[in-house]
Chains A and B, each alone.
Chain A
Amino acid sequence: MSERVAVRKTYKLFIGGKFPRSESGRSYIVQDANVALSSRKDARDAVVAARAAVKGWAGATAYNRGQILYRVAEMLEGRREQFAALGVPGDEVDAAIDRWVWYAGWSDKLPQVYGGANPVAGPYFNLSAPEPTGVVAVVAPESPALLGLVSVIAPAIVTGNTVVAAASPSAPLAAVTLAEVLATSDLPGGVVNILTGRLAETVPTLASHMDVNAIDLTGVADADLAADLEVKAAENLKRVLRPAPADHDWSADPGITRMTTLLETKTVWHPKGV
């Protein structure tokens, strides 16, 4: 009897709910696998997909978004062994799942914590409420590959933004596996798009893209590159989350700044009178 020959997985990009190869036809070897090496065109395609998804996702009820994010946590829980096989420590998988659950619950609570009635001095109803800013480019930290990625994607999408994420270049397999989780969690295609490859190739395109509303530079370790990207982002005044310090504790309570930085506040006035 010969031993069974395993069927190996191809690790591809995640754009618009589909898993295409890089349009450049390139890949690179990392974690003992060929992984798609994204081009600038892939980055632009991902932005188009993310923009197309904004209307439906931002327009969904907070309850619906919360349900879908919780579904992601359920699907993640079912794949713990797969992440373990990719070398993600069990504690990190647990923390990543708990973080999805934590963010899922924020969907219908952040507006209650971050918005509210303003007692203006006049006969006016005045209410401030947060709205998503739109398309957010995020650079995931090099490590932890799963918890870091989850910690930058979830706070962006829970409020109704859509995301183009650049995965950890040295440990992208957890990101592609997360994409498979997202693809099977009722999350509409295009809400999260994941690019693998070199940051220097894709991230400047995202930072200077005029149809991206915000950029999260968390995973940019090179201070000069980060400053350059921030300059590019200034062209259309993208909202910027600056890089995380090298000793950032990913297991700590993340607070709400990651969410609020990626929100607009809309204040509505209306007169009162018979």
Chain B
Amino acid sequence: MFEYAPAPESRSVVDIKPSYGLFIDGEFVDPTDGGTFKSVNPASEEVLAEVAEGGAGDVDRAVRAARAAYEKVWGPMPGRDRAKYLFRIARIIQERSRELAVLESLDNGKPIKESRDVDVPLVAAHFFYYAGWADKLPYAGFGPDPKPLGVAAQVIPWNFPLLMLAWKIAPALAAGNTVVLKPAETTPLTALLFAEICQQADLPAGVVNIVTGAGDTGRALVEHPGVDKVAFTGSTEVGKAIARAVAGTRKKVTLELGGKAANIVFDDAPVDQAVEGIVNGIFFNQGHVCCAGSRLLIQESVADRVLESLKRRMAQLRVGDPLDKNTDIGAINSAAQLARIKELSDAGSAEGAERWSPPCELPDRGFWFAPTIFTGVTQAHRIAREEIFGPVLSVLTFRTPAEAVEKANNTPYGLSAGIWTDKGSRILWMADRLRAGVVWANTFNKFDPTSPFGGYKESGYGREGGRHGLEGYLNV
């Protein structure tokens, strides 16, 4: 392995305050009936800031502020003016991209090269894309004069904190809704910086409200009778609880939940490219990706070759300081997530699969897990059925395309899938049969604001991104 000199990104570009309030009605305010919690850098366990925990009363205040802004300002505003605010936000995100990237890596643990080159550019692009829809809604295919819903309650996860915020807020605002967003409790800081960006853009007060907190705060928000729309990204378990909670109401719901994607490699696939795709599919963002290619299905005749190449490639992965520009795999986001990854990995060994990790030195402090693959996995193993949400790959084999389809679809999830083959007709044949919302062929983990994203089955419903992403925020 090559020796690299450390290349740490400076954190001086970010000014983290010792404590943060809730962002309600255009201002940072103290919680009235909540408490506080600490956000930690998962790479060092250093406390980054103390953050307000919104109680039910705070959620109520935020929903009322959003309602007032919807009725008095944002709802009646012409689309072309809403567009201009969204363009402003997009521009400020571009201007402050370094700051956002460093803060995201500090709070989340993801490598700086990823937050800098993937997350933040996609965030800006998302706001740009939906800004352009704000004044074109009659052209979006939902009728001549589609109307917004009102107040959107949005709850987002910790794996792509700012990107998930963009996926939620940009289409909601473009369509004319106002929002109350609850970031994940382990990664609230970029959402709070985004609140400052809203102030900088002179976005009218109450259009965007950020209420930080944990599960109880999220539940109070989702169940608040004053919200018209619930958008959630997170676990299937919580998604089901939300679906039950909104039953019998008029709330429109979109859910983007877990996944257990099959990444299918045929014998005619170019091995080196496929291996890059496998690595990207499962080790990108420490495997904290709902659409991660966590089940590798290799055609039996090339399994040994692919695995040999995969192991060689995995030995080159650099695990460590998220702020180092050479780092490929950063820190696991929290102690709780690390415990879950360890528990499932231990179950993999106990159930008889063969575990392998490259020699890999992990830092002493912080939450870390070496990139890991399991071979000899059967479809009955927990590591083939349950979402691990970490850098752990389960390898299975198949003989025929029909068997690949059968195994790929043998999961309650249906978010994404990957196909690696030189044959175009086979890609399309497979794509027709895979019960998954996104199918990547000879690539993986590609995202674009114009491209709809979302799952089949228990991976949720509704689509985010693209023209389709407007539908969840329009009264159609």
Q: Is A227 interfacial (CB 8 A cutoff)?
A: no
Contact B432 A272 (CB under 8 A): yes
Given A109-B467, A113-B139, A274-B429; A70-B87 close (CB under 8 Å): yes
Contact B429 A272 (CB under 8 A): yes
Chain B residue contacts of A112, Cβ below 8 A: 450, 466-467
A113 to B83, CA, bound (A): 19
Query: Chain B: interface secondary structure?
Result: helix
Contact A108 B132 (CB under 8 A): yes
Contact A108 B450 (CB under 8 A): yes
A125 to B432, CA, bound (A): 10
Given A105-B83, A112-B450, A113-B139; A274-B426 close (CB under 8 Å): yes
Contact B425 A104 (CB under 8 A): no
Contact B428 A105 (CB under 8 A): no
Q: Is A30 interfacial (CB 8 A cutoff)?
A: no
A22 to B83, CA, bound (A): 40
Chain B residue contacts of A62, Cβ below 8 A: 450
Contact B136 A272 (CB under 8 A): no
Contact A271 B425 (CB under 8 A): yes
Q: Is A205 interfacial (CB 8 A cutoff)?
A: no
Q: Is B80 interfacial (CB 8 A cutoff)?
A: yes
Q: Is B424 interfacial (CB 8 A cutoff)?
A: yes
Contact B429 A101 (CB under 8 A): no
- Interchain nearest-CB distance for A37 vs B (Å): 38
Q: Is A177 interfacial (CB 8 A cutoff)?
A: no
Task: Map CB proximity to A onto B87-129 as digits: 1 under 8 Å, 0 otherwise.
Answer: 1000000000000000000000000000000000000010011
Contact A105 B432 (CB under 8 A): no
Given A113-B141, A113-B467; A102-B136 close (CB under 8 Å): yes
A66 to B425, CA, bound (A): 34
Chain B residue contacts of A109, Cβ below 8 A: 129, 132-133, 136, 139, 450, 467
- Interchain nearest-CB distance for B10 vs A (Å): 28
Q: Is B204 interfacial (CB 8 A cutoff)?
A: no
Contact B425 A102 (CB under 8 A): no
Task: Map CB proximity to B onto A87-121 as digits: 1 under 8 Å, 0 otherwise.
Answer: 00000000000100110111111001100000000
Task: Map CB proximity to A onto B297-330 as digits: 1 under 8 Å, 0 otherwise.
Answer: 0000000000000000000000000000000000
Q: Is A67 interfacial (CB 8 A cutoff)?
A: yes
> Looking at the complex, which one of A101, A271, A273 makes contact with B84 (CB distance below 8 Å)?
A101
Chain B residue contacts of A101, Cβ below 8 A: 80, 83-84, 87, 135
Using CB atoms, name the residue of chain A closest to B121.
Answer: A63
Chain A residue contacts of B139, Cβ below 8 A: 109, 113, 256
Using CB atoms, name the residue of chain A closest to B429.
Answer: A272
- Interchain nearest-CB distance for B404 vs A (Å): 10
Q: Is A270 interfacial (CB 8 A cutoff)?
A: yes
Using CB atoms, name the residue of chain A closest to B174.
Answer: A105
Q: Is B131 interfacial (CB 8 A cutoff)?
A: yes
Given A101-B83, A113-B467, A274-B401; A106-B132 close (CB under 8 Å): yes
Using CB atoms, name the residue of chain B closest to A70.
Answer: B87
Scoring B80, B132, B140, B424 by chain A CB atoms within 10 A of each residue's CB, the highest score goes to B132
Given A98-B80, A101-B80; A270-B424 close (CB under 8 Å): yes
Task: Map CB proximity to A onto B136-164 as digits: 1 under 8 Å, 0 otherwise.
Answer: 10011100000000000000000000000
Contact A104 B428 (CB under 8 A): no
A113 to B141, CA, bound (A): 8
A200 to B293, CA, bound (A): 63
Contact A272 B428 (CB under 8 A): yes
Chain A residue contacts of B129, Cβ below 8 A: 63, 108-109
Chain B residue contacts of A66, Cβ below 8 A: 128, 132
Chain A residue contacts of B432, Cβ below 8 A: 272
Using CB atoms, name the residue of chain B closest to A69.
Answer: B132
Contact B428 A271 (CB under 8 A): yes
Contact B131 A105 (CB under 8 A): yes
- Interchain nearest-CB distance for B240 vs A (Å): 32
- Interchain nearest-CB distance for A223 vs B (Å): 32
30 A-B pairs with C-beta separation under 8 A: A62-B450, A66-B128, A66-B132, A70-B128, A101-B83, A101-B84, A102-B136, A104-B132, A105-B83, A105-B131, A105-B132, A105-B136, A106-B136, A108-B132, A109-B139, A109-B467, A112-B467, A113-B139, A113-B141, A123-B429, A125-B428, A256-B139, A270-B424, A270-B425, A271-B424, A272-B425, A273-B426, A274-B401, A274-B426, A274-B429
Q: Which residues of A contact B (CB under 8 A)?
A: 62-63, 66-67, 70, 98, 101-102, 104-109, 112-113, 123, 125, 256, 270-274
Q: Which residues of B contact A (CB under 8 A)?
A: 80, 83-84, 87, 125, 128-129, 131-136, 139-141, 401, 424-426, 428-429, 432, 449-450, 466-467
User: 4 extra interchain contacts, Cβ-Cβ under 8 A, other than A70-B87, A109-B132, A271-B425?
Assistant: A105-B131, A105-B135, A108-B129, A109-B450
8 closest A-B pairs by beta carbon, nearest first, are A105-B132, A272-B428, A273-B425, A271-B425, A274-B401, A272-B429, A112-B467, A125-B428
